[in-house]
Structure 1
Amino acid sequence: MKPLLLAALLAAGAAQAGTAIVIGGALKTDNDAVWQRIVDEAGGAGARIAVFATAAANPARSGAQIAAALNRRGAQAEVIPVAPRLAGADLAANLADPALIAQVKASRAVFFSGGAQELIVDTLQPGGQPTAMLKAIREVFDGGGVVAGTSAGAAIMSRMMFRDAQDNLDILKGRWRERREYDRGLGFVGPDLFIDQHFLKRGRIGRMLPAMRAFGYRLGLGVEEDSAVVVKGTAVDVIGARGALLVDLSDASSDARLPHFNLRGARLSYLDRGDRHDLATGVTTPAAHKLREPRIDPTASDYKPYLRADTYFLDILGDNTLVTAMAQLLDSPAPEVRGLAWRARPRNGDAAPDVGFEFRLYKGPGLTGWFSGALGGEDYTVLNARLDVQPVRVATPFVTPITAP
């Protein structure tokens, strides 16, 4: 990692007293690893937690479900009635209610529900200006407390966020606008780390890379569903059902002569559940059950690749496809693995319907990893895979039927 980036991360980590727990969405009620970690970080049994269902379509139901899940793990969680869609509530009055603000300040943790992240920023930070309620939340965090959020509640964790950008290919093609597809977040993970959620399930590497380049980020964390990252200073713990993708653009470059998004030299690391990573030093410590297995090093003399090497991924932005491709790169004899991001059926308004993007993962210095089946799956940790993204022309239609003579 470059010295200036290291210094910035060390400074940001030192300035943040609180703990951010970023949940990738679709958090199951029986995911004890995540729910219990929230309670434990907030102080354990009896911890007071303020629940904000601000983003939810049905705030009363979502808030009650979240509070119940936390209380089953020993917390004293209560819903704060600050949500635009909460029936019968006076939003403006509740935002400024001294009793509610005092209740938040007395908490050791704040939890943001899923839903529409724009409702969180528009409610708590209208026009970019913090409300008294947001100041109270920051007071909890700055005092060493916890801010946790799932889905929409995760999106608001970085200083910039996706507001409503569901189509990865649109973002790759540059079709996104301020206050429509992207907006300012609340910045609980500091100014230098970009956050995205539902990441592997929805192939959101396609939108993260252009955003990181546009907003000046060097590091990004894409958190998978039913999983979380616990960010405390520069330390990141991965917990839950799966993991998170760490994107490092410290050495990445682009060719300005090309008319579409392109990238060379990005580094991707898949951090699995139980792994720990230090953002300042760049050192990853795999989970204990991984360390009991041999390290996979493609440069080692005893390297024995396990996987086949001839797969081309026709939908690299598909459900968990990217991590599958990274595992194949690590554990096969292939020097590279390629995949395509494209749209089979052009959409109205697409000025470049024949443009796609080829993702080239390739071996480079530092590529290493671990594999374990101890938890019942085929679980890889993959560090320092290299990635290039190249715009390409895709035939339209992609296939032509063979007809009888």
Structure 2
Amino acid sequence: MKIQGKLIIIGGAVDRGSFTETNVPTDTSKNLNFFEAGILKRIINESKHKELSRIEVITTASIIPKVIGPEYIKAFNHLGANNADVLYIQKREQASDPEVLERLKAADVIMVTGGDQLRLTSILGGTLFDSIMLDKYRNSDFMYAGTSAGAAAASNNMIYQGSSSEALLKGEVKITSGLGLIDGVIIDTHFVKRGRIGRLFQAVVGNPKVLGIGLGEDTGLLITNGCQMEAIGSGLVILVDGREIKDTNLTQIEIGKPISINHLVTHVMSKYDKYDLETRKMSIRDTQNVEN
């Protein structure tokens, strides 16, 4: 089935400008380059009606929804997208509220903020909101954009816990089901600054069929047709492909013991690089330009 919608997953710490600060003009000017060419601008440009798109910001994962939600609205407004609002869903029963569902049906974009991805999936998973969102993503020109927890929860398999420093000890990484917008991948966020590559290694060695995606801060992927991925933002995307693993001690060792992996393939993507999930082929923008 060809996916009609678009998916943007972001590693977190999106440099959207801190409009809660008192010195708004100064702080805004520091972020003008990001506003003009960054991830939030790309979300608007890729949406169905551009600046006129109806955007709903979902703060379910956050413990400070009343702070983070309005900040996103101010950022979108600054970029010319004035048809944006916060849709507060803090309890599971709210995800079946008729007014909430009508707003979701009318939305062109939902922007899912950071926080706790397990909170996000436990509140939204299996609800009418979840069903309508998945249907819109699969069958219409609709965009799901998620940062940090919102990104981690987008796939079928979701990392929800695991120490970075001990991530390659068997059993340290905890995985559960996500929201299911994309299959065949597992996503980790805040990837560079928090040193989470070990978490992704363990997730992939446990099921090498799944492609690991590590998103750096202010970095993301635009995914179209359910399989065409383009790196966006200022940092790096790390891909971990386990299909060519030759050997591992994963099943022989006890819980808490170090994992060994022989021949784990990785790729590094930066802005405008592309990767096809179906063919598992990567194209680097600058080298393609040279060849052409």
TM-score bucket (shorter structure): 0.7 to 0.9
Classify the secondary structure of the residue corresponding to 2:114: coil
Q: Which has the higher contact order (CA 8 A, sep 6+)?
A: 2
Shifted more, 93-102 versus 153-162: the winner is: 93-102
Map of 1:219 onto structure 2:
211
What CA distance in whole angstroms lies between the structure 1 residues aligned with 2:62 and 2:195?
Answer: 23
Map of 2:25 onto structure 1:
none
Map of 2:137 onto structure 1:
141
1:69 aligns with 2:75: yes
Shifted more, 197-206 versus 252-261: the winner is: 252-261
Give the drift of 1:28: 0.4
What CA distance in whole angstroms lies between the structure 2 residues aligned with 1:279 and 1:207?
Answer: 21
What CA distance in whole angstroms lies between the structure 1 residues aligned with 2:165 and 2:144?
Answer: 31
What CA distance in whole angstroms lies between the structure 2 residues aligned with 1:92 and 1:246?
Answer: 33
The 5 A counterparts of 1:82-101 are: 82-83=89-90, 91-101=91-101
Shifted more, 209-218 versus 243-252: the winner is: 209-218
What CA distance in whole angstroms lies between the structure 2 residues aligned with 1:157 and 1:188?
Answer: 5
Question: Does structure 2 retain, via aligned residues, the 8 Å contact 1:160–1:215?
Answer: no
Q: Which runs of no fewer than 5 residues in structure 2 stay unpaired?
A: 17-30
What CA distance in whole angstroms lies between the structure 2 residues aligned with 1:215 and 1:269?
Answer: 18
1:170 aligns with 2:166: yes
Classify the secondary structure of the residue corresponding to 1:238: strand
What CA distance in whole angstroms lies between the structure 2 residues aligned with 1:244 and 1:120?
Answer: 23
Give the drift of 1:220: 1.6
Residue of structure 2 aligned with 1:246, choices 239, 245, 252: 239
Cα distance change, pair 99–57 in 1 and its aligned pair in 2 (3 A): same
Q: Deviations over 1:228-264 (max 9, x none)?
A: 1111122111111112011111111324485341111
Question: Does structure 1 retain, via aligned residues, the 8 Å contact 2:208–2:242?
Answer: no
Structure with bigger gyration radius = 1
Give the drift of 1:291: 5.3
Give the letter aligned to residue 122 of structure 1. S
1:46 aligns with 2:42: no
Give the drift of 1:55: 0.8
Give the drift of 1:218: 3.5
Question: Does structure 1 retain, via aligned residues, the 8 Å contact 2:204–2:241?
Answer: no
Structure 2 length-normalised TM = 0.83
What CA distance in whole angstroms lies between the structure 1 residues aligned with 2:248 and 2:289?
Answer: 43
Give the drift of 1:16: 2.4
Map of 1:237 onto structure 2:
230
The 5 A counterparts of 1:98-247 are: 98-125=98-125, 130-142=126-138, 143-165=140-162, 167-176=163-172, 181-189=174-182, 191-233=183-225, 234-247=227-240
Map of 1:359 onto structure 2:
none
Cα distance change, pair 224–239 in 1 and its aligned pair in 2 (3 A): same
Give the letter aligned to residue 274 of structure 2. R
Map of 1:394 onto structure 2:
none
Residue of structure 2 aligned with 1:34, choices 31, 39, 46: 39
Structure 1 length-normalised TM = 0.61
Map of 1:273 onto structure 2:
271
The 5 A counterparts of 1:313-352 are: none
Classify the secondary structure of the residue corresponding to 1:252: coil
Classify the secondary structure of the residue corresponding to 2:52: coil
Classify the secondary structure of the residue corresponding to 2:247: coil
Q: CA RMSD in A?
A: 2.1
Q: Deviations over 1:311-350 (max 9, x none)?
A: xxxxxxxxxxxxxxxxxxxxxxxxxxxxxxxxxxxxxxxx
Give the drift of 1:293: 6.7
Give the drift of 1:71: 2.7
Cα distance change, pair 63–205 in 1 and its aligned pair in 2 (3 A): same
Greater fraction helix: 2
Map of 2:64 onto structure 1:
58
What CA distance in whole angstroms lies between the structure 2 residues aligned with 1:229 and 1:272?
Answer: 10
Classify the secondary structure of the residue corresponding to 1:251: coil
Cα distance change, pair 264–132 in 1 and its aligned pair in 2 (3 A): same
1:263 aligns with 2:264: no
Cα distance change, pair 216–248 in 1 and its aligned pair in 2 (3 A): closer
What CA distance in whole angstroms lies between the structure 2 residues aligned with 1:217 and 1:71?
Answer: 41
Classify the secondary structure of the residue corresponding to 1:171: coil
Give the letter aligned to residue 132 of structure 1. L
What CA distance in whole angstroms lies between the structure 1 residues aligned with 2:97 and 2:245?
Answer: 48
Q: How many residues align?
A: 264
Map of 2:285 onto structure 1:
287
Map of 2:19 onto structure 1:
none
Give the letter aligned to residue 62 of structure 2. A
Give the drift of 1:185: 0.8
What CA distance in whole angstroms lies between the structure 1 residues aligned with 2:45 and 2:120?
Answer: 25
What CA distance in whole angstroms lies between the structure 2 residues aligned with 1:227 and 1:236?
Answer: 13
What CA distance in whole angstroms lies between the structure 2 residues aligned with 1:150 and 1:254?
Answer: 34
Question: Does structure 2 retain, via aligned residues, the 8 Å contact 1:224–1:244?
Answer: yes
